[in-house]
């Protein structure tokens, strides 16, 4: 069963930072977002206050119990960060290395790699979709849409409409 899918909008400045990180590290957008969310969620409590920081209502921040709670929260954070690190290392280990690791070339005058299309066509495991240069359309989506149109046309003809 596939993982849940989320759609978010980000400001242009944040989008530029994301693209720069993707190009610098070679990570997929999905891996970057998963790591960022795991790190953020490990760093904050549900109220949005950073873990380990005493709340204004907590006047006993220096008490042994408060210190124990802070230690437990930090331990959970470290465990979450370790899990994220292990997952990213495992993902890196599964990537092919050497000259064969590059996807077969495509004509850059006709195609480019872009964000995943609405149908999620992933070009050779890159986490990106092959798109046409003039209009940014996904060729696989165009082929699927054409196939669906043909099926509807033949179904209508078979019914005599």
Q: What are phi and psi of 61, to 5 degrees?
A: -60, -25
Count Cβ neighbours within 10 Å for each residue of 10-24 and write b for 16 or more, e otherwise.
eeeeeeeeeeeebee
Identify the pLDDT of residue 94: 63
* Per-domain residue ranges of the chain: 1-98, 107-161
- Residue 156 clears pLDDT 70, i.e. is over it: yes
Residues 119-153: tens digit of each pLDDT? 888 888 888 899 988 888 999 999 999 999 999 99
pLDDT of residue 103: 56
Q: What is the pLDDT of residues 40-66, one digit of tens each?
A: 777 666 655 555 555 555 455 567 888
């Amino acid at each position: 069963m596939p993982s849940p899918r989320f759609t978010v909008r980000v400001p242009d400045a944040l989008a530029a930072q994301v693209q720069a990180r993707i190009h610098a590290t070679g990570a997929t957008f999905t891996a970057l977002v998963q790591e960022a969310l795991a790190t953020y969620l490990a760093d904050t409590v549900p109220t949005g206050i950073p873990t380990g920081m005493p709340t204004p209502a907590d006047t006993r921040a220096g008490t042994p119990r408060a210190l124990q709670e802070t230690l437990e929260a930090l331990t959970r954070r470290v465990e979450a960060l370790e899990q994220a690190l292990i997952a990213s290392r495992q993902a890196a280990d599964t990537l092919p290395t050497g000259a064969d690791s590059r996807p077969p070339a495509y004509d850059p005058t006709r195609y480019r790699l872009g964000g995943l299309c609405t149908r999620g066509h992933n070009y050779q495991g890159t986490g990106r979709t092959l798109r046409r240069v003039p209009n940014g359309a996904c060729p696989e989506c165009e082929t699927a849409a054409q196939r669906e149109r043909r099926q509807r046309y033949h179904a209508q003809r078979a019914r005599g409409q």
